[in-house]
Each structure stands twice: as C-alpha cells, then as structure tokens.
Structure 1
Amino acid sequence: MSNIDLIIEERAADIGKFLVGRLLPFRQKRMVGPFIYIDHMGPVKLNERSNFDILPHPHIGLSTLTFLFEGSITHRDTLGNEVDINPGAVNWMTAGKGIVHSERTPEHLRNSELLMHGLQIWVALPKHLEQMDPEFFHVTAEEIPAWEQDGIQFRLVAGEAFDRKSPVPVYSKLYMLEIKSSSHQQVTIGEHLYGESGLYILDGGVESDGNEYGPKQMLVTKDSTLCEFTIQADSIIYIFGGEPLPEQRFIDWNFVASDKALIAEARQKWIDQKFEKIKGEEDEFVPYPSFPKK
C-alpha cells in the first residue's frame, strides 16, 4: 500500500478467560469506515478444563460479525437463535435498540482439545438505524462469494466490492475481504475499493515502498483507491473498509451509540437486569464493569 497513513500493532486485551489481540479502536484511529472494533482471538488451545464461555451480555447500536479460522462457537440470543458457527461462516447479529447473547464452546466439543482462532468485529450502525429492532443472520461458508484473479484467491466476507455483494445483510457501504496468495506478487485493487481501508496481516507479509510488514499488523490507508502492495508467498490478509459514518461514535463496554444518553440508558437497564433473558440462561450474565473505560 503506497499510501500508508498509520500502522496499528495488535495490543493484548483481556476479555475474561484469555487474551486477544486488539486492533480497533486505537487511540489515533477510533474507526476504519464503519468498523469500530476488531479483535483477533487466539489461536488458543481449549480443553475440558478451559472452554470458551462468554456469558450473556448486551449490545446496542452495532452489528457484530464473528468469523472463525479454527474452532467452533455456539451462539444463543434473546431472539431465540441457537447456532454453531464454524470456520468460514459468518454470524451477523444486529443489536439495534438492544439484544443479549452468549458465546460458548459447543456441548459436543466441551471435553475435546481444540484450537479457537478467529476475528470478532463490531460495525457501528448508521444513526437512523441505531434503535432498530434486533436481527440475527447466519451465512454459511459456501454462500460467501469466492473467486480467483491473477493467481490470488479472494473471498468477500461482507459488504460490496469487485462488483460483487456478500449475502451478509449489512446496513452501510462497507467491505471485508479475505485475500490469499501462494506466490510473491503485486496486488493492485484500489479501483475496487472506496472510503477508508485497513489491511490486516494474519499470515505471511506484505511489502510497500521498500518496507516489509508482517503478522499482527494493520496498515491503514490515506486513500483506499490507491491500494497497491506486494503480497508475499503463503500469505493471508484481510481488508476492512468503507464509507465513514458522519457522526462520532461513543463506546462504553458493549454499547455503541452516537448519543451518550442512549448508552447511559442501556447501562442502567443492564445494571437493573431489565434486558430480556436468554431462555435457559436466565441466571447467568456478565456484570457491568465496576470501572468503565473512559
């Protein structure tokens, strides 16, 4: 990418039972397009003594996108959904005015040894949809648009790009692309992109203007339409981007909104345990943190 504006290194963040690598938000770049939160989970080894268990917790004002490379997670929510997400599929949950969900190792794998590895992503909703009714969609790996171009493998995980559209029902102009290459070659894709872009290196590396970048780095462009770089052999990268939202977004714990009053209302509602409960998980929940981040 010949117009790199910022290099973001993964920072360790504690989400309960294990650490993740946080990419967004970053102090110098709170969002890339409508993407407001990106965590790289793992790879972490799980077994019968250490399963993945994120207890019921709430969200407002955003859509969550869960995308796994390895492992499996059972998603349950207050809309009554219960589905296992496996590698390559997309769980897309739109919180809107409020939803509660849990994420756990599936029952049939709880006594097994397995790796958990993937991305947890939040996409802020446009202001006029922040209070929409919550929704949930599961898109299988086979439904995700995939193609090969000049020896490079592409998958359009979400959004629109390359004159293609992912079936994931997004609410703003965005894209999440997976790019794999087995050979060392030049990549020029700026004409297919728009808005802001962030390039995250999962495996391998990329080269730009004589500099080399490797895993656990995200490169943010000044202008996505100039996106050009050299991808190294056996590399996997993800490009997140799209049109920025015009209003500032605030984050408090799991809540996102353009109006702090909406966050304050949701926070008190959760403290008072007035959110709807997940059937079968009525007595479990993640408490609101004692010392919220500013």
Structure 2
Amino acid sequence: MSNLFESAEQRCDALNAGCSAIEVLLNPRVADLGGFSVRRLLPTAKRRMVGPWIFFDEMGPADFAAGQGINVRPHPHIGIATVTYLFEGEILHRDSVGSRQAIRPTDINLMVAGRGITHSERGRPEITASDHRLHGLQLWLALPEADEETEPAFDHFPGDTLPTAVVDGVPVRVMIGSAYGVTSPVRQFSDTLYLEASLQPGQRLVLPEAPERAVYVVEGALQAQGTEIPAHSMAVFAPEAGVAITATEATRLVLIGGEPLGRRYIEWNFVSSRKARIDQAREDWRAGRFAKVLGDEVEFIPY
C-alpha cells in the first residue's frame, strides 16, 4: 500500500517550499466496482487513523442507468460507528435493529455497531427506475474501549438540523463536534470533528484546532503554506494553531479530526482494540449468529 501516500517532507522538497504544518499528503487507492469507483484514503500503511476516524471512502460520483444502482447485501460490523454522507443521490439503509431510512444529501446517518450490527445499502425502486447519480462519503469512527461493546443503534439527522456558520465568507456545515462557534447534535463517543466547507477561488479558511485533523478535497484544489492539495487527496495537518488553507479554484472539502484512541485492529468489516474479539466476530458471522437485517433477511455477503 506504499503507493497510497507520500510524506510531507518529500512533497515539500519536490516543490522547494516549506510546509511544516502538513504531516503527510495521502492519495487514494481507487477501485472500480463495475462502473462504480471508490477512493480509499484511510487506513493506509503510514496513516491508519486521524483522531478516532479509521476508515474514509469517497464513493462515486457514479452514474447509473435505469434498472441499476447500489446494491450492498447485508454485512456485519463491530466496534465502530459508521457515518454515511451524500452529496448526490439516495441510499436505502436497513439494519438489524429495525431501522429503515432513506439517506439523502446533507443528512448525517450514524450507525453504532458496538457489540454487533448487520445492515444493507440498496437503491429504492423509485430511484433505480430511472437514470440517477450517487456521490458521497462513507466513514468509520473507532469507538473508545469502554464503548466497543455498546448496544447497536442507528441515528438519523436531517440536514436542516445540522448547524452552519459563515467564516470569513466561507460557508461551513458542522456535522459532528464543535467548530466556529456552533455544535452539532450528533452523538459523540470521544472528541470528534467532522465538517464540510465550500470555498471560492482565493478564499481562505483557518482550520479549527484539534489534537489530530485532516482535510480531504472532494473537488477543486487548495494550497497550504505553498503546498498544493489537489482534488481527491487528503492532507493531515500538525496540531498547531492558526493553520490556514486557500482555494486555488472552486473547492468543496471535508475536515475530519479529534482525539486519537490508540491502537485498533481492523479485519474486513470488524474493528476492535482486541484481536481476539475480531476472531470471535468472524466466527459468529460464519456461523450465522449475527442478527439479520429486518426486511432484508435472505441475502448476505459471505466472509
């Protein structure tokens, strides 16, 4: 996986510019899932987590013809909370605690796996009946050790319940945590930050402080201390105050961060601070001991 990143030092040497605030610049591994591309930024060989965030995928943008669409069969998770955030399109979420929720742009959907949950992600017939597009992010939050075996749950927050701010002319939406004087209602298990911002060319944004933080460029391009941060790359920043980014073109970005939780093991869809717990989850899934997705009980993804 060494091709997924390059060090900030190597990047700065190439540009002959100082960029001490950037610890590492990550480039994605891109997978084509039959016309549906996924860009993975976390985990990588040299940066497994940013704060509590252990997994970061950008899905799409993908254009589906009528009769096609996203169709992820039931599969399990433990030890994490997943976050699904869409820019375009819709996903129908179902899970083993009885949730059935259409996920739409700007909503936050927090699925707490805890001791174990099963869920599926599919397209509703009303959506797949015509041509449509899907574009969004899927992220995993590792849970603190005290919460790894918490009861599974699903929380849905419509976009109009999430706070916004305008910072030096830049519109910002705070999805999880507190920044720029506003606080999201989304539940936190540890110090967590997740926000979205849109910058016009030449606009500047001072990053909120956090023990660890990273900026992902969904579209457009940024500069920070003379270093270019292109689309679909993630810059992990040192935790110093006053770090600013500047848009060199119209840019949409997300920022993730928070307090690091310590070592986590990750295997398939399972995350835990204990390797033995992952071994147990693997055997439980193989033996059919996870609860089934209500309304989607027949199919499943084998281990």
Seen in structure 2, the aligned counterparts of structure 1 residues 267 and 16 have a Cα distance that, compared at 3 Å, is farther
Q: Report how far residue 112 of structure 1 moved.
A: 1.1
Counterpart Cα distance in 2 of 1:54 and 1:16: 13
The 5 A counterparts of 1:107-126 are 107-126=125-144
Q: Is 2:300 the counterpart of 1:285?
A: yes
| Aligned equivalent of 2:291 | 276
Unaligned runs of 5+ in 2: 1-18
Counterpart Cα distance in 2 of 1:15 and 1:63: 24
Match among 208, 212, 222 for residue 196 of structure 1: 212
Letter in 2 for 1:205: A
Counterpart Cα distance in 2 of 1:287 and 1:16: 19
The 5 A counterparts of 1:170-189 are 170-189=188-207
Q: Report how far residue 179 of structure 1 moved.
A: 1.2
Provide Cα deviations, 1:104-149, integer angstroms capped at 9, x if missing partner: 1122112111111000000000000000001110000101111212
The 5 A counterparts of 1:1-294 are 3-13=21-31, 18-189=36-207, 192-245=208-261, 247-288=262-303
Letter in 2 for 1:269: D
Report the secondary structure of 2:146's partner residue: helix
Counterpart Cα distance in 1 of 2:30 and 2:192: 27
Q: How high is the sequence identity, in percent, across the aligned residues?
A: 39
Seen in structure 2, the aligned counterparts of structure 1 residues 224 and 80 have a Cα distance that, compared at 3 Å, is farther
Tell me if structure 2 keeps the 8 A contact 1:197–1:224.
Answer: no
Seen in structure 2, the aligned counterparts of structure 1 residues 206 and 17 have a Cα distance that, compared at 3 Å, is closer
Deviating 4+ runs (over 4 angstroms): 14-17
Counterpart Cα distance in 2 of 1:219 and 1:268: 37
Counterpart Cα distance in 2 of 1:236 and 1:84: 24
Q: TM-score, normalised by structure 2?
A: 0.90
Counterpart Cα distance in 2 of 1:279 and 1:137: 16
Report the secondary structure of 1:225's partner residue: coil
Tell me if structure 2 keeps the 8 A contact 1:160–1:173.
Answer: no
Counterpart Cα distance in 2 of 1:280 and 1:229: 46
Q: TM-score, normalised by structure 1?
A: 0.93
Letter in 2 for 1:237: L
Q: CA RMSD in A?
A: 1.6
Counterpart Cα distance in 2 of 1:213 and 1:262: 38
Tell me if structure 1 keeps the 8 A contact 2:77–2:270.
Answer: yes
Tell me if structure 1 keeps the 8 A contact 2:92–2:121.
Answer: yes
Provide Cα deviations, 1:262-287, integer angstroms capped at 9, x if missing partner: 11111000001111111232211000
Letter in 1 for 2:130: S
Q: Report how far residue 2 of structure 1 moved.
A: 5.2
Q: Report how far residue 163 of structure 1 moved.
A: 3.2
Counterpart Cα distance in 1 of 2:206 and 2:289: 50
Tell me if structure 2 keeps the 8 A contact 1:181–1:232.
Answer: no
Counterpart Cα distance in 2 of 1:211 and 1:183: 16
Q: Report how far residue 14 of structure 1 moved.
A: 5.6
Q: Report how far residue 214 of structure 1 moved.
A: 1.2
Tell me if structure 1 keeps the 8 A contact 2:85–2:106.
Answer: yes
Tell me if structure 2 keeps the 8 A contact 1:2–1:229.
Answer: no
Report the secondary structure of 2:177's partner residue: strand
Counterpart Cα distance in 1 of 2:126 and 2:227: 46
Report the secondary structure of 1:79's partner residue: coil
Report the secondary structure of 2:241's partner residue: helix
Seen in structure 2, the aligned counterparts of structure 1 residues 28 and 226 have a Cα distance that, compared at 3 Å, is farther
Tell me if structure 1 keeps the 8 A contact 2:41–2:234.
Answer: yes
Provide Cα deviations, 1:151-189, integer angstroms capped at 9, x if missing partner: 111100112222321111121101111111224133223
